[in-house]
Amino acid sequence: MSRAAAFWDRMAERYARSPIPDMPAYLHTLERTRSLLKPTDRVLELGCGTGSTALELAKDVQEIVASDVSAKMIAIARQKATDQNITNVRFVVADLVGQPECAETYDAVLAFNLLHLVDDIPAALARIHARVKPGGLFISKTVCLSGEGVPFKVKLIKLVLPIVRAVGFAPAVRFFSVDQMDVWVRDAGFEILEAGNYPASPPRRYLVARKP
Ligand SMILES: C[S@@+](CC[C@H](N)C(=O)[O-])C[C@H]1O[C@@H](n2cnc3c(N)ncnc32)[C@H](O)[C@@H]1O
């Protein structure tokens, strides 16, 4: 089992219980995303956690495949789908980085609060690009912990993070700016159609990008 899978397995129950930190920001990007999806769409969500967003969007699309590296997160998500009687979301355990090269393509690929946890973001974006149909969308939200809009306390957290991580209480986190995020997404071959920070500080970069 990867270190990320082990960490998120340990966190899964607590993550499922914890409230969404900024509900207005979450609802704004959820509704923007919903407005961009079509009833005929087949959607892939990466790093779906306990499945809340996939289950929210289920009624707006034909099918969602929602994946996460943590088997415990996926077990909770499957139970929620059963409880809510939602049958068009398929939850699977999969590492974003380990996705097969020539797997199925989707009308939209979603990655919310995931990319800052990935070691090699350009490589991950190349994998994601391969999973989006031509003309399809990549919709992401990523906390950007360097550059403008980042409060001083985040800079302090960056200093202590290696220690917290060493004792198993934090995941590996990448620090980069909003501008860097946009460059990575464009360099992967996407055209950015919409961008905003929700919330603004520290910025969680919401990007709607199209594969030409
Ligand atoms: C901060 S949580 C976000 C969950 C959900 N997307 C949300 O916005 O609430 C990050 C999730 O990404 C998953 N994750 C971390 N690294 C991953 C990887 N390499 N491949 C797939 N999932 C990963 C974790 O297991 C966790 O469920």
Q: Residue 169 sits in a domain of what CATH number?
A: 3.40.50.150
Task: Tell which wins on pLDDT, 106 or 171.
Answer: 106
Is pLDDT of 101 > 60? no
Residue 96's pLDDT is 86
Domain of 134 in residue numbering reads as 3-210
Is pLDDT of 17 > 90? yes
Any atom of ligand 1 within 6 Å of the Cβ of 51: no
* Of 162, 144, 143, 95, nearest in space to 123 by CA: 95
Any atom of ligand 1 within 6 Å of the Cβ of 95: yes
Q: How far is CA 7 from the centre of its chain?
A: 17
Question: Strand (E) positions, the chain?
Answer: 42-46, 63-68, 89-93, 106-112, 132-143, 191-197, 204-210
Residue 120's pLDDT is 94
How many separate domains does the chain show?
A: 1
pLDDT band at 167 (very low <50, low <70, confident <90, very high): confident
pLDDT in tens, 64-83: 999 999 999 999 999 999 99
Residue 163's pLDDT is 80
Any atom of ligand 1 within 6 Å of the Cβ of 9: no
Report the pLDDT averaged over residues 39-52: 97
pTM, full prediction: 0.95
Residue 98's pLDDT is 66
Is pLDDT of 123 > 70? yes
pLDDT in tens, 125-138: 999 999 999 999 99
Report the pLDDT averaged over residues 30-39: 98
| Residue among 23, 68, 120 to mutate when testing ligand 1 (max atoms within 8 A of CB) | 68
Beta bridge mates, 92: 67
